[in-house]
Amino acid sequence: MSQGGDSEGRLVGKPSFDKATPVAAALIYAPTHAGELIFGRPLLERLMHVCACAGVKRFFVEAAGGERAALRAALGSFRDSPDVSFVGSLTEVLEHLPADALCISLQGNLVVGTLQVRGVITNQAARTGEVVALEGTGGAPGTLAVGPLHRLVTRGDTEVVRIASMGSLPFALDGRPGDRREAERRLANELRHESAEKDAPLARWLDRRLSWRISYRLAYTTVTPNMVTIVSTVVGLLSAWLFASPGYWPHVLAALLFLVSTTLDGVDGELARLTLAESRSGARLDTLTDNLVHVALFAGIMTGCYRASTGPAYLYLLILLFGGLVLCAVAGQRARRASADREWIATMEKLTGRDFAYLLLILALLDRVHYFAWGTAFGTYVFAFVLWWVTTRRWGQGLTGSSALAETTIEAVSSSNNCGLLAELSYLWRAVRGMRPPRVSASDGSTKRAPEQA
C-alpha cells in the first residue's frame, strides 16, 4: 500500500466497535526494531497483543528468510502460536484469505494502543471497501491501516482515507536516544483514555490523572499487578477498621485511606496493560478483593455509627444493608449476562464504580458519616430495582443473550474484564468442587468421587 493519500477524516472519539466487521488478520511488515523492549516486552509482541485485544486472531509477518530467527525471539508469548505465519511477501496472504477480507496493516516501528486500533477499525466500518489509515507520530514513518486485503497488499493504491489521531499514539520509533522512553511515557499517558468508557466521572477526571503516573513508575520495577491489588486491599481494610471507631478524626483518616485505596485499585489494571501481564486470575483477584473491601467498609461504617449512638438502630441497618448488597450483586450479574455489548458492559462498570469515595470524604469532613450509612442501606435497594427494571426494559424478560454466550463474548473482549462478583464466586465454587478428593470404597478398594450435595 502506498504511503500517499488525499482524503482526510477524523478518528472516531467514541467508537461503536462491536458493530464493526471482524478483522480477519493482521498484516505486519517486520519492524526494524522488533526486539526493542517497551516496558520489558518486545515491540513485535506488543503489536500482536494490541491487535489480539481488538479481536484479531491471525497474524502474517513479512520477513526474509534470514530475518525470521531474530523475529521469532521478538514474538514473546506468540512464539509458539499456530496463528502466526511468516511470509516472503504479504501478497502471499491472498492464497490463505479472500481478497475482500478485512485486515489490518502495520508498517514501521509503531507503538500503539488498543484504543487507536479499535478507532481505525470502527472508522473503516463507515467506509466499506475503503482503506482507512492512521499515521504514526515521531521522527520515523509508520502507518496503521484497515481495509480489504487486496488493497492493503497492492502497491500504488493511493485512494486512502487518512484520519487524524486525537491522542499521542501511534508513535514510531526511529532509534534516537530517548525514543523508547518517550514511547513508554505516551503509552502510560494513554491509559486513562483507554479506560474512559468504563470509568465513572470522578475516577476519569481525578483518579486516572494520578494513577497513570504511579503505574508508569511501577512499570520499571519488579512490582506486579497482583502486589498492587493486595496493597490496595490492605489499605481499604484499614480504612474499614478506622470507620468502625467512633470519632471525627478516625473517620476523616478512614475516608482519605479509602480514597487512596480507590486510586490504587486503578493502578493494578494499568500496570498489567503496560507490562502485558493481564490475566483472568488477576481480574478475578481484583473483583473479589474489591467486593471484600466494600463489605468491610460498609460494615465498618455501620459499626462506627452504632458505637457512637445510643440504640440498636445501626445493627438493624447493617442487616438491611447486607440484604441490599445481595440484591445489587444479583441485579448486576443479571445485567451482565443480558448482553456482551461493549457499551452496555461499560455502563455497568460506570454504575458500580467507586466515585462514592469522594462523597464519603466530604461527609467525613462534615462529621456526617451517618448520612452515608442511612443512604446506602436504602439506596442499595433502589439501585438494584432500577438496574433490574432497566435491564428488563432494554433486553426483555427473556434476556436475549444467553449467559454462556455473553460470558464467552466477554472473555473474547478482554481477558481482564470484570465479570461480576457472583460469576467469580461461581467459578471458585466449581473449582473447589473439582478439587474434591476421591472417596475410597471400603469393600473393594476402588475410588469414587464424593457424592454431590443437593
Question: DSSP secondary structure string, 226-256?
Answer: HHHHHHHHHHHHHHHHHHTS-SHHHHHHHHH
Q: How many domains does the chain have?
A: 2
385 and 340 in a common domain: yes
Contact 98, 160 (CB under 8 A): no
| Longest CA–CA separation in the chain, Å | 84
Specify if 222 maps to a domain.
yes
Predicted local distance difference test score (pLDDT) of residue 336: 78
Rounded Cα distance between 256 and 40, Å, is 34
216 and 134 in a common domain: no
CA distances from 209 to 21, 35, 167 (A): 33, 30, 15
225 and 165 in a common domain: no
Task: List the one residue out of 167, 92, 123 whose CA is nearest residue 23.
Answer: 123
- What lies within 8 Å, CB to CB, of 102 at 6+ separation is 21, 22, 23, 24, 124, 146, 147, 148, 149
Rounded Cα distance between 209 and 272, Å, is 17
- What lies within 8 Å, CB to CB, of 435 at 6+ separation is none
* DSSP-assigned letter for residue 37: E
248 and 300 in a common domain: yes
Predicted local distance difference test score (pLDDT) of residue 411: 43
The residue written with cell numbers 477480507 in the block is 101
Predicted local distance difference test score (pLDDT) of residue 416: 55
Task: List the one residue out of 104, 22, 40 whose CA is nearest residue 77.
Answer: 40
The helices-and-strands tally (H runs, E runs) of the chain is 16, 14
349 and 280 in a common domain: yes
Specify if 254 maps to a domain.
yes
Grid coordinates representing 290 are 474489591
DSSP H helices, 54-200, are 68-73, 114-125, 149-152, 179-194
Specify if 453 maps to a domain.
no
Specify if 33 maps to a domain.
yes
414 and 320 in a common domain: yes
Predicted local distance difference test score (pLDDT) of residue 343: 76
154 and 300 in a common domain: no
Task: List the one residue out of 23, 13, 28, 36 whose CA is nearest residue 86.
Answer: 28
Specify if 444 maps to a domain.
no
DSSP H helices, 309-341, are 313-338
CATH code for the domain in which residue 80 is found: 3.90.550.10
Low-confidence stretches of the chain (pLDDT < 70) are 1-20, 156-158, 166, 339-342, 397-422, 435-454
Task: List the one residue out of 271, 266, 258, 113 whose CA is nearest residue 200.
Answer: 266
The residue written with cell numbers 460494615 in the block is 299
280 and 169 in a common domain: no
220 and 111 in a common domain: no
248 and 367 in a common domain: yes
130 and 27 in a common domain: yes
Rounded Cα distance between 325 and 164, Å, is 45
Predicted local distance difference test score (pLDDT) of residue 254: 97
199 and 172 in a common domain: no
Specify if 439 maps to a domain.
no
The residue written with cell numbers 486525537 in the block is 166
In which domain, by residue range, is 13 found?
A: 7-176
Specify if 190 maps to a domain.
no
Predicted local distance difference test score (pLDDT) of residue 159: 80
pTM of the predicted model as reported, rounded to 2 decimal places: 0.84
CATH code for the domain in which residue 418 is found: 1.20.120.1760
Specify if 181 maps to a domain.
no
Predicted local distance difference test score (pLDDT) of residue 27: 96
